[in-house]
Chain A
């Protein structure tokens, strides 16, 4: 079946450090890939997405590239801020109304 594997957290970084959160997936065909973010006390929000191989999703300084050859969708940011502290979830789905499948989440803490 479809599944998503994320690097385990927590990840603690200093402000302005480079961030990478690894995500790999197992799925048939060509799923769409997503990163959702959950800030403390809030619901999950879509951060970015990519719907086909080699697509790059980007938002708020975050980027992730859909790599079909390595079945990966790693999240990156060049310079993190304290306000980026949150839990990040990688997810996938196939087209139409197939359910989103989430990874376990990676908690990021950024310290000043």
Chain B
């Protein structure tokens, strides 16, 4: 069964450093999402793409976070500079039919020291 691929699985960095996460959605899925999940909380949407266009980035801290999906396929989420409070699981998801069914990757666990 097709899966959403994410890398790296784990990332440890020091505050003020730059980090980047990569996501490859299921082939043919036009909608791609980046969520952040803080320990003990539910996932919260950071940014949503439809093909290469941003649909919703209202919760993305744009002073330090950026996301791109240049060719409408895979996507990169970047944090620069990382802060201690950014420690969380970063989840990528994709869908074929909007929000009715999302397929999630296993996530990237970020620890900022």
Is chain A's binding surface mostly helix, strand, loop or mixed?
loop
A residues less than 8 Å from B75 (CB atoms): none
B contact residues vs A (CB 8 Å cutoff): 3-4, 31, 40-45, 48, 50, 55-56, 91, 93, 98-107
B residues less than 8 Å from A17 (CB atoms): none
A4 touches B48 (CB 8 A): no
A residues less than 8 Å from B45 (CB atoms): 99-100
B50 touches A42 (CB 8 A): no
A91 CA / B42 CA spacing, docked (Å): 9
Most buried by A among B4, B41, B45, B99: B99
Q: List 18 A-B contacts (CB under 8 A).
A: A42-B106, A43-B3, A43-B103, A43-B106, A44-B91, A46-B101, A49-B101, A93-B99, A96-B99, A97-B31, A97-B50, A97-B55, A97-B56, A99-B56, A100-B45, A100-B102, A102-B42, A105-B40
B residues less than 8 Å from A41 (CB atoms): 106
Number of chain A interface residues as a range: 20 to 34
B106 touches A97 (CB 8 A): no
Interface residues of A in 39-55 (CB under 8 A from B): 41-46, 49
B42 touches A4 (CB 8 A): yes
A43 CA / B93 CA spacing, docked (Å): 9
A contact residues vs B (CB 8 Å cutoff): 4, 32, 36, 41-46, 49, 89, 91, 93, 96-100, 102-105
Nearest-neighbour CB distance to chain B for A91, whole angstroms, equals 7
For the complex of A and B, 3 pairs with smallest distance between CB atoms: A102-B42, A43-B104, A44-B104
A44 CA / B41 CA spacing, docked (Å): 13
Other-chain contact of B41, A43, A96, A98, A104 (Cβ < 8 Å): A104
